[in-house]
Amino acid sequence: MDAVIKNFPPHTEKGEKTAETKSYMDKPVTDRPSQEEVENAVRTLLRWTGDDIAREGLVETPKRVAKAYSEMFSGYDQCPAEELGRTFEEVQGYNDMVLIKDISFHSHCEHHMVPIIGKAHVAYLPDGKVVGLSKIARVVDIFARRLQTQEAMTAQIAHVIQDVLKPRGVAVLVEAEHMCMAMRGIRKQGSVTLTTTFTGVYREDLQEQARFMTMLRDKHG
């Protein structure tokens, strides 16, 4: 199995937010076509493949594709910051790492609109408050259910957690297989790309980075 590792540091310095950072805190604003326009576009693609759009198996395909896309790209209708809005301060003095491993996701490459399938591992160091574990998984899903690059998605997950929760640090590692490599082009199945983003203490302290990576490898971590 091949692997490519990329590290993406925060886009901000000294806690300052850029326009790019703020942009993914909200729901994207899109000018969407009508249901009819979407179904006609699918029919055009079906015709372009060389198939017969009038045959029984394809008659309902445009409607099915439109419905499937509304599910697969539902992240455009959701705000990741809202998912992190409710926190808990009764943590009994706990201030060590919170790590959620193996958050499975499926996304779509923005270059070819084919699947990206993988897992995200997210950790943060609380600063007096924590968030429900399912909320972290929801944030991963929201960003995954948009057209993405793995690099951008990794950074977005880390930055929104840092910006909303304001922990002492966030660590995110994403590992995924890209169907644009497996199904087309060089057609290399099983090649996995790893991307990481670290903020705060994780960015500044290599020992904390190493502890994060060690806990990922530990079956009981």
Active-site annotation, residues = 109-112, 150, 178, 180
Output the DSSP codes for 172-221: EEEEEEEHHHHTSTT--TT-EEEEEEEEHHHHH-HHHHHHHHHHHH-TT-
Could you tell me the two tokens for 56?
């029984």
For 5, the enclosing helix (H) or strand (E) is: strand 3-7
Pair 117, 177: CB distance under 8 Å:
yes
CA 7 to chain centre: 15
In 3-state terms, what secondary structure has residue 108? strand
Which DSSP letter does residue 114 get?
A: -
For the beta sheet containing 115-125, the strands, ordered from the edge strand earlier in sequence to the opposite edge, are 3-7, 192-199, 169-178, 115-125, 98-109, 147-148
